[in-house]
Amino acid sequence: MPESRRPRLVDVAERAGVSPRTVSNVLHNHPHIRDSTRKKVEEALVALDYRVNLSARALAGRNTGFIALVIPVLDNPYFSSLAAHVIEACAARDWTVLIEQTSAQEDRERNAVFGPASRLVDGVILQLDSIPEEELSRRFSHSSLVLIGEEASAAWADHVAVDNVSAAREATEHVLALGRRRIATAGILPSGLNTTSELRYRGVWQAMEAAGVSLRTDYLLEVGNFRRPDGADAAERLLRLDVLPDALICYNDLIASGMLAKLREAGVSVPEDIAIVGFDDNEESQYQAPPLTTIAWDLGAIAQRCVEQLVERSQPGGDSRPPARTFVGHELIVRESTVSTRP
């Protein structure tokens, strides 16, 4: 087989008997093209099996067709599901998504947002983790940025806001309404740097305060991370206490899953002995034994809004628009880990 080079725009143009620019116009659905011309070009396109060189297009043109999604980890159902939704939303617009996995390391997050790849993308969707907002706002200028996070943050960038404090408050109120008073909470990070953890704690605290129930310090369970083994660890510490709590707010479903498994092993019954609430509504949570009460975010809506905001920014004049803020709601999904259906 001859080592033939890939066809270029000029090759297509030559074959179709038009100028390269016309071929480009056809590819971009330029409004004024005679049908006969379009037909000729399209035939040549097919005959040569032409595929545009995205590097060249990006270099010459205004935008690249890439956006970056910067998240801590991919093998967490919350983020992989978010990523799947973002990819779907982008596919509809012929955008390609670069997923940058930071492993929650600040230097990697910084590299994702400021490094070479950031030059390549038309926009960035960032689940803000450790970069200080102040630094972001100072250095970010070259493309659009959508933050996923708190209502409180960022009056300087578009963002899609979720309300962790309210969500945590509602979760806690739910178990309080069930009559539970010895409430423990799992998901405090020792570093205190992670906003999500802090805000969920704050919500729990608010609900307790409002109900006049005290929060025992030995019921504040630290975790190294937000994964299942961290939940299991926390459960072991919990089981060593003299008095077990009667309710447990876990800051995500993975922690809850780890706790659930260990408690089951120890013969603690859920929800009779301990009611458990999680966050995120991972699909697996409804298949747990017992199915897990949890806070559900509308990930589809979050992804959709992020992409829409990127679209709006990239529209002519979108640059000068004031930062937009969208609130995406949440919902407490009550399942058997807090409310038994057994007789």
Partner DNA sequence: GGCAAGACTTGCAGCGCTGCAATATGATGT
Partner DNA sequence: ACATCATATTGCAGCGCTGCAAGTCTTGCC
Neighbours of 319 (CB within 10 A): 9
| 19 sits near DNA (criterion: CB under 7 A) | yes
Give 3-state DSSP helix, strand, coil % of the chain, rounded to 5: 45, 15, 35
Q: How far apart are the first and last CA of the chain?
A: 74
Per CB under 8 A, which region of 18-26, 52-60, 209-217, 233-241 contacts a second copy?
52-60
Is the bond preceding 343 in cis, omega lying within 30 degrees of 0?
A: no
CA of 40: how far to CAs of 7, 28, 34, 49, 307, in Å?
16, 15, 10, 14, 35
| 114 sits near a second copy (criterion: CB under 8 A) | yes
Strand order in the sheet with 220-222: 220-222, 183-188, 247-250, 275-279, 293-297, 330-333
| 61 sits near DNA (criterion: CB under 7 A) | yes
Q: Which long-range contacts (CB under 8 A, 24 or more apart) does 214-217 make?
A: 215/183, 215/185, 216/182, 216/184
Question: 260 contacts which partner out of a second copy, DNA, none, CB within 5 to 8 A by kind?
Answer: a second copy
Question: 83 contacts which partner out of DNA, a second copy, none, CB within 5 to 8 A by kind?
Answer: a second copy
| CA dist., res. 201 & res. 206, Å (int) | 9
Smaller CB separation from a second copy, 20 or 215: 20
| 325 sits near a second copy (criterion: CB under 8 A) | no
Burial bucket for residue 76 (CB in 10 Å: 0-12, 13-18, 19+): buried
In the set 4, 29, 36, 191, which binds DNA (CB under 7 A)? 36
In the set 46, 84, 193, 241, which binds a second copy (CB under 8 A)? 84
| 27 sits near DNA (criterion: CB under 7 A) | yes
Q: What letter does residue 331 receive in the DSSP assignment?
A: E
In the set 97, 128, 171, 175, which binds a second copy (CB under 8 A)? 97
Smaller CB separation from DNA, 15 or 227: 15
Q: Report the amino acid identity of residue 110.
A: R
- x-marked contacts with a second copy along 1-20 as a string, rule CB under 8 A: x----x--------------
**Hey, is 129 helix, strand or coil?**
coil
Residues lying near a second copy in the complex (CB under 8 A) are found at: 1, 6, 51-56, 58-59, 64, 73-75, 77, 80-81, 83-84, 87-88, 91, 96-99, 101, 103, 108, 114-120, 141-142, 228, 232, 257-258, 260-261, 264, 283-284, 286-289, 291
Residues lying near DNA in the complex (CB under 7 A) are found at: 5-6, 8-10, 18-22, 24-25, 27-28, 30-34, 36-38, 50, 52-53, 56-57, 59-62
